[in-house]
A = this chain, B = another copy of it.
């Protein structure tokens, strides 16, 4: 009878986006419990155990999980087959390390920006009794990465590469955060500090490395892609450099799109109300506007940008429309899309003479497809 038939084991490849996310989410409690068990094993008092549990549960899951999922996706594509349970678990763990890193950045960024909400709930530091302790809480989210990395990967040949990769990415993100913080402080508007070049630098360091390069490079290390490949015809390439050269423009495109949607997306589309103008953000929109504004329009932007005032925000949006920011964005997006397609096309996929695994175009195509012309 039907009821006794075992449920078909759904191969990883055919699971839908929704199921992929659920499967990935189901790994979080495993690592959370492992962290808490380790913490408790040190004789920590109950109130501290409860605190760390709440820190993890409040700040780590609950995001879009794109960064974490892209580690799993990339491992899958690079291996070219569905993953064993152990392979899946390890790929998902590394995916969660990216999410832990992001949580570390978001908890602290919200304090530095004095933000109010994050992912539809109050920022962690605004929770009763947390306040400045959130600084140490953010540290513990970062440290959790290296504890778990050691616990699960210490014997793998790529352990040290993953550690170095997370360190370098973290440092770059902090560099980007520093430039952002001194270029666009929440409480002091000075548009003379802005430029499209500065915007590019901030985006690359603050966002692109950890959101785009990190997940893919981590997957590449896990799949044994070597630092240098020589094909039988003697061409030598550096797959990590190649990946970086594609993922940095991809990350830039993603952030510019994010900046544009903050201005042009409806709340239904983006799931929140855009506040970049009011928050004095160094956004692609303001930088593009500044690059083409007349002196009169510049004066309007200087007098209205970055202020907690809805009428001033509307005035800035008026200037954006005058300057045809929507058309400029569409032109930018088309150019970026074609440029990235061209970069992806430079990947040869030719097996190296030592037979080691190689980079695949699909890793980047699948990323680009998720981003191109998205409206949310």
Categorize the interface residue count of chain A.
35 or more
Query: Chain B residues with Cβ under 8 A from A43's Cβ?
Result: 201
Whether a CB of chain B sits under 8 angstroms from the CB of A160 is yes
A145 to chain B: closest residue by CB: B167
Selected from B171, B182, B198, the residue in CB contact (under 8 A) with A147 is B171
Ranked nearest first, the 5 interchain pairs of A and B with the lowest CB-CB distance are A143-B171, A146-B167, A112-B132, A139-B174, A136-B177
**A45 surroundings in chain B (CB, below 8 A):** 179, 183, 198, 201
In contact, A112 and B140 (Cβ under 8 angstroms): no
In the complex, are the beta carbons of A42 and B205 less than 8 A apart? yes
A47 within 8 A of B: yes
Q: Which residues of chain B are near A89, meaning CB under 8 Å?
A: none
User: 1/0 per position for A37-52, CB-CB distance to B under 8 A?
Assistant: 0010011110110011
- Please provide the chain A residues from 131 to 181 with a CB less than 8 Å away from any CB of chain B in the complex: 132-133, 135-140, 143-144, 146-147, 150, 154, 159-160, 163-164, 167-168, 170-172, 174-175, 177-179, 181
Q: Which residues of B contact A160 (CB under 8 A)?
A: 159-160, 163
Contact partner of A143 (CB less than 8 A), chosen from B51, B170, B181, is B170
- Residue of B with least CB distance to A135: B108
Is A293's beta carbon under 8 Å from chain B?
no
Chain B's closest residue to A163 (CB) is B163
